[in-house]
Chain A
Amino acid sequence: MSRFTPLVALALLLIASACQPADPAPEASEITLYAGRSASLVEPIVEQFEAATGITVNVRQGGTSALAVALLEEGEASPADVFWAQDGGALGAVHKAGLFMAMPDSIANKVPAGMRNDAQTWVATSGRARVLAYAPDRVDASELPASIFDLTDARYQGRVGWAPTNGSFQSFVTAMRMIEGEERTKAWLEGMAANDAVAFTNNSAIIQGLADGEADMGITNHYYLIRFKDGDAAFPVEQVFFEAGNTGNLVNVAGMGVLNTSEAKPAALRFVSFMLSNTAQEYFGNQIFEYPVTNGVTTNERLIPMDSLSTLQPAIDLEQLDDLDGTLALLRDVGLI
């Protein structure tokens, strides 16, 4: 008995202690971040934050939409302190459910009015545009479509890559529903599926897939390709915008909000504030090649200036992009998710 019991006790103790939720330290030196952006984008800047503040960030990595729905399901029991979404739509959905706290002016005023919602419950951390990436060795410039709606043409059959399960794409569908209406959006989605669009799980995979010949063109966010080119100038993929004002050129934001239920609000707000600091904006702008959202940092010279981008993008109020449920229902309805 004597030799056996301690072993059992030890094992039980191990399991039991592992089951304890992490203690909220008195001065909240730990926060939990629900990150709906790729791990490779999140990690470097989170590490900088940890080094600068001594606050540990526990990251739950996942799809933006999944994490938004998880927050809605978890409600008050959610361990999350900060939600970092890769699109305004998911932020809108969480805001609509009343789960975000209002941020103080000192943080909200760091970004211009269009880059946060009126209630100041979320702020943008960076901006990004939707583009059409393509493989020039298989796509002639004359073949490039003027509108995203052209992609359902027979001549693009089986050649277009997309990521129907990805948050940026889903937010884009929400925007399309608002701009073009439910019917036209549904018809486009069905047309794309019928045209054998190649489904990838995320934007990086689309870009890599274009280089590898899995698809000839792909609808994605603007900064992924630039990151690939940064590591390998000869990377055989290019990207273009659709014609000016086309829905395919949607400009969206990545952004974050602090949960009402957070027990570490000061640390969580510090995290948000850090993401709007010059250090972080510099990182988003010059290493991820997104558009900075504060005045302190200028757009990287490899991007077209924000002014030109404004003339290309379709008119939309990002705050209206909160009907995530409707978009998911539509995607389910057409059998894409």
Chain B
Amino acid sequence: MLRTLKAKLAGPRPVTLWPLGVTILIVGAGVLGPLAYLVLRAFEGDWASVQALVLRPRNLTLLGRTVGLTAAVLALVIALSLPLAWLTTRTTLAQHRWITLVGVLPLAIPSYVLAYTLLAATGNYGLLTQAFGLPVPRPSGFTGAWLALSFYTFPYMFLNLRAALLGLDASLEESAQTLGYGTWSVFGRVVMPQLRPALAAGSLIVALHVLGDFGVVSLMRFETFSYAIYLQYSAAFDRVYAAWLALMLIALTVAVLVVEAWVLRGVTLHGNKAGHHRAPRPRPLGRWRIPAVGFVGGLALLSFVLPVGTLLYWLVRSTPSLANLAEALLGSTSVALPAALGASLLAMPLAYYSVRHPSPLTQTTERVAYLGYAMPPLAFALAMIFLSLLLVPAWYQSIGILLIAYIMHYLAEAIGPVRSALYQAPPRLEEAARTLGHRPFGAFVKVTLPLLQRGLVVSTAFIFLAVMKELPLTFLLAPAGFQSLALRVWSFSTEALFDRAAPFALLLLLFSACFVGLLLLTRGDKA
């Protein structure tokens, strides 16, 4: 069995397989192990009490709220990003770069920071009342969670839609126009159907964000599955029920993945072969120009200017302790750096074998890595806690467990850049090195690794910045005495100490801004 597999993988030349084996073991154990143990834990105890937990009417309420919030966020996200994407690709407004920037900048504000600023700006005693005499009711509960998550996630949808719109062949749209269809009909009959994959991909990202979100729903006190898991942890520490809630949330996530795959089944798009691809002529907006600019301006105001302004307002009112800031910064960095290095190193063999020697085995391992990414972090963290208590109690509440969780969660994100770099590194070079007498591994290190450098740097930077602002994994798994920027912002915000949260939030904002910058650079999008 192993021999045939080896022969199959190897092709004409022998392939070093141990790095793949080690990677598969690590990824499999790291992602599937905790999840499997979560199931075991959930069925612990007598059947009657398990039944009572599963059949609690409260679970249904939670399901309704979680699904409802996801649907509402998706609707608002599409309503915001579709017009914006169209304006920036099909109209004369596209010449103004700041308009594209409006669709990207909100990414620089981590979702819980956005939630914090929404809370700190509103209410009878918030910024808007104190500074402008505008008593805007505080949008807590559903409204607050809905707004914060929508403003935070719409850029993901926008980027997807914009890329799709830029990639469409203009001749289709123009032929439709010549046939007498108006702007709206062309959009509805020609453009929209072709946007389906982008809409599905964007919706998946948005839905995963909403399902996995913990910071926003906890600050807004809207009880979804994530928030309920947190409450079981912080108020009751009812582990079996928490495990069940985590399983239900995971099941919901898997359902979303299945639906996305089903929506995309059999989708193929024709008509944009390289070379024939031409951008449509930008359309003047005429009397729609003012409403369009108003829309973009309003969006920028709500999703970026107001949050950043609120932050600065409370920053001025705070007396930041430099020692605490430095401690939190050091804490964040001290986990983000090893996690980023670890994830990139682990991504390398995975990307390498899946590009050079694709097989069902490499495919499956990659899917497992994506599963680790799609898993709601709070549920994953809980599974990690259970497993570490069972296997290595000494690791319970250690930085190591936190690092492993980060690496397993972000591994999938690290694979992309490395894989792109691999596609650009010609396999012939490696083969040449081997003809010159290098062993397979030696050839890889001497020839391919240097070519992968850029990809590795990019994925390391991505993961580093992502970990810097990560909250739910950090929240559940951080050992006693560990402080990070994200934990500080969250804990001060839950206590409604808006001024004290501000300096930490601002530092986080700077790191997230780098994240966005990197995102734009690597997408080659000259926004």
Which residues on A are within 8 Å of B, measured CB to CB? 1-4, 7-8, 11, 14-16, 18-21, 32-34, 38-40, 56-63, 65-66, 69-70, 73, 77, 79, 164-166, 170, 199-202, 204-205, 207-209, 211-214, 235-236, 328, 331-332, 335, 337
Contact = CB atoms under 8 A, between A and B. Distances in A.
B123 A213 contact: yes
Contacts of A200: 221
B393 A77 contact: yes
A271 to B, nearest CB: 14
B341 A66 contact: no
B430 to A, nearest CB: 14
B283 interface: no
Interface stretch (B296-304, B357-365, B398-406): B398-406
Nearest to A213: B124
Nearest to B227: A201
Nearest to B402: A18
Interface in B438-483: 439, 441-442, 445, 449, 479-481
Given A11-B345, A65-B235, A66-B236, A213 B137 contact: yes
Given A1-B442, A40-B497, A15 B238 contact: no
Contact of A204 (B137, B345, B404, B497): B497
**Interface hub of B58, B341, B441, B496 (most chain A Cβ within 10 A):** B496
Contacts of A14: 338, 341-342, 403
Contacts of A8: 345
**Nearest 8 CB-CB pairs, A to B?**
A212-B123, A19-B400, A58-B481, A60-B480, A165-B235, A208-B496, A69-B237, A211-B125
Contacts of B449: 3-4
What secondary structure prevails in chain B residues at the interface with A? helix
Given A4-B449, A332-B238, 6 more contacts: A18-B338, A19-B392, A19-B395, A77-B393, A208-B123, A211-B125
Contacts of B126: 212
B445 A32 contact: no
12 contacts: A7-B345, A62-B234, A65-B237, A70-B237, A199-B221, A211-B125, A212-B126, A213-B125, A214-B140, A236-B124, A328-B236, A331-B236
Interface stretch (B181-189, B415-423, B487-495): B487-495
B122 interface: yes
Given A4-B445, A60-B480, A211-B124, A19 B398 contact: yes
What secondary structure prevails in chain A residues at the interface with B? mixed
B231 interface: yes
B122 A212 contact: yes
B314 interface: no
B481 A18 contact: no
B142 interface: no
B495 A3 contact: no
A199 B492 CA distance: 18
A34 B221 CA distance: 25
A21 to B, nearest CB: 5
A60 B338 contact: no
A66 B234 contact: yes
A94 B513 CA distance: 46
A143 to B, nearest CB: 18
Contacts of B138: 209, 212-214
A19 B393 CA distance: 11
Contact of B394 (A1, A21, A40, A211): A21
Contacts of B91: none
B232 A337 contact: yes
A284 to B, nearest CB: 18
B151 interface: no
Nearest to A170: B235
Contacts of B154: none
Contact of A40 (B401, B479, B495): B495
B220 to A, nearest CB: 11
B480 A79 contact: yes
A212 B404 CA distance: 41
A57 B395 contact: no
Interface residues on B, range: 35 or more
A165 B140 CA distance: 17
Contacts of A18: 338, 398-400, 403
Contacts of A15: 338, 342, 400, 403-404
Given A18-B398, A208-B125, A73 B492 contact: no
A166 to B, nearest CB: 8
**Interface hub of A164, A165, A166, A236 (most chain B Cβ within 10 A):** A165
A63 B233 CA distance: 9
Contacts of A19: 392, 394-395, 398-401
A3 B456 CA distance: 15
B397 interface: yes
B235 A11 contact: no
A165 B238 CA distance: 13
A142 to B, nearest CB: 22
B396 interface: yes
A205 B496 contact: yes
A212 B137 CA distance: 8
B148 to A, nearest CB: 16
A205 B495 contact: yes
Contacts of A61: 491
A34 B123 CA distance: 34
A332 to B, nearest CB: 7
Contacts of A16: 400
A170 B235 CA distance: 9
Contact of B341 (A11, A62, A77, A170): A11
B135 interface: yes
A271 B138 CA distance: 41
Nearest to A10: B341
A33 B497 CA distance: 23
Given A18-B338, A18-B400, A40-B495, A337 B231 contact: yes
Interface string B133-160: 0010110100000000000000000000
A32 B497 CA distance: 25
B496 A204 contact: yes
B117 interface: no
Interface in B365-394: 392-394
B342 A63 contact: no
Interface string B241-283: 0000000000000000000000000000000000000000000
A119 to B, nearest CB: 25
Nearest to B444: A4
B318 to A, nearest CB: 11
A18 B394 CA distance: 12
B224 interface: no
Contacts of A62: 234
Contacts of A58: 479-481
B221 A73 contact: no
B396 A77 contact: yes
B218 interface: yes
Contacts of B495: 38-40, 202, 204-205
B350 to A, nearest CB: 14
A47 to B, nearest CB: 9
A73 B123 CA distance: 41
